[in-house]
Amino acid sequence: MTQNFRQLYALGLVGLIACKSGYVDVINEFISSVDGAESQEQAYYFPDFNFHDVNPKSDSYSSSVSLNDLLIGAYNRDDETNIIVNFWIYGCAPCMQEMPFLQNLHENSSAEVVSISATSYMVFDPKIEKDNYGYDLRPTKEVMAEVSFPVLGGKDEEEITRFFYESMPFFSTIEINGQEYPRYYFPLTVIIDASGDVIKHIQGYDPAEYNDLLYN
């Protein structure tokens, strides 16, 4: 696990600890003006990505998936398909709780769902049961074995981590070893319309947000 990813992972765990402890004041300080899973409207065009699909149950398994391809597909269908891009980390309970809702959207709505994690390749590798620090990946593997939408990753952790930092807006920063880094709260999801514009930005786990997409 690279240093940059360890830092990103640590930031996610800070948010997870605040969530599980129930300290709303900590969450409010952790993400300026964002309370837990509260969604934020964002007016920006989401950058293209092109990562490898590591989920054996996905139709695009072992192929590269790009946002541009998804947008072209939505355009060719001439529909109002939303594209849901979800970022997660293993060891994050809310991230795993969210996966069945994403799977429900994948199965029962027109939304295109993709999930991205810098270490997803470890979760789908049957030979890996623990990470380099001894963390047991088996609970995460059990959850992820039930999803059939593309889970993007690959072994280039630096590339995915850099894309995350460059593409996601952030609301405050944290200092690590004298350097400022963005603060995030996982899971983190963006909902993109067929033109590529972000129409909603969700930090944290909130099933009501996905029910709105499913039933409205």
The arithmetic mean of pLDDT across residues 61-88, rounded, is 85
Determine the straight-line distance between the first and last CA of the chain, rounded to whole angstroms: 41
User: Residue type for 30, please?
Assistant: F
Neighbours of 115 (CB within 10 A): 27
Confidence of residue 15 (pLDDT cuts 50, 70, 90): very low
Q: At residue 8, does pLDDT exceed 90?
A: no
pLDDT of residue 201: 81
Query: Between residues 122 and 18, which one has the greater pLDDT?
Result: 122
What residues pair up with 65 in beta bridges, in sequence order?
A: 51
Q: All domains of the chain, ordered by start, with CATH? A: 37-167+185-215 (3.40.30.10)
Digit-coded pLDDT (tens) for 102-126: 999 899 888 899 999 988 989 999 9
Q: At residue 138, does pLDDT exceed 70?
A: yes
Q: Quote the crossing angle between the two packed helices 207-215 and 93-108, to the nearest 10°.
A: 0
Q: Any idea which of 4-13, 55-64, 87-96 has the lowest mean pLDDT?
A: 4-13
Q: Which residues of 62-93 are buried (b: 16+ CB within 10 A; e: fewer)?
A: eeebebeebbeebeeeeeebbbbbbbbbbbbe
